[in-house]
Amino acid sequence: MKRSPLEIDHVRQYEEMAGWGAAMLVRWLDGRYELQDGSEADRKEAMEWVNQFFVGDKPVRWRH
């Protein structure tokens, strides 16, 4: 069955890599990394992990 363009637009374009409480590290299909959502404590814990363990040539940015 062929999908309509409208259905294709709604396909998830990222992969969930890790999570801390409500904060989540995702990798977009174009290679970007992004930390999404979470409380201040969740974001602090996530940034500590990213700064210590994340190895990649692309920066990680926050989306609130």
- Domain assignment of residue 34, yes or no: yes
Percentage above 70 pLDDT, the chain: 66
- Domain assignment of residue 33, yes or no: yes
- Domain assignment of residue 3, yes or no: no
* Domain range enclosing 30: 11-63
pLDDT at 2: 55
Other CB atoms within a 10 A radius of the CB of residue 51 amount to 9
- Domain assignment of residue 40, yes or no: yes
Percentage above 90 pLDDT, the chain: 12
- Domain assignment of residue 6, yes or no: no
* Number of domains observed in the structure of the chain: 1
Residue 12 parent element (H or E) = none
- Domain assignment of residue 47, yes or no: yes
Distance of CA 55 to the CA centre of its chain: 15
- Domain assignment of residue 2, yes or no: no
- Domain assignment of residue 4, yes or no: no
Q: Is the pTM of this model over 0.75?
A: no
pLDDT digits 0-9 by tens, 12-27: 788 888 899 999 988 8
Whether the per-residue pLDDT at 10 is higher than 90: the answer is no
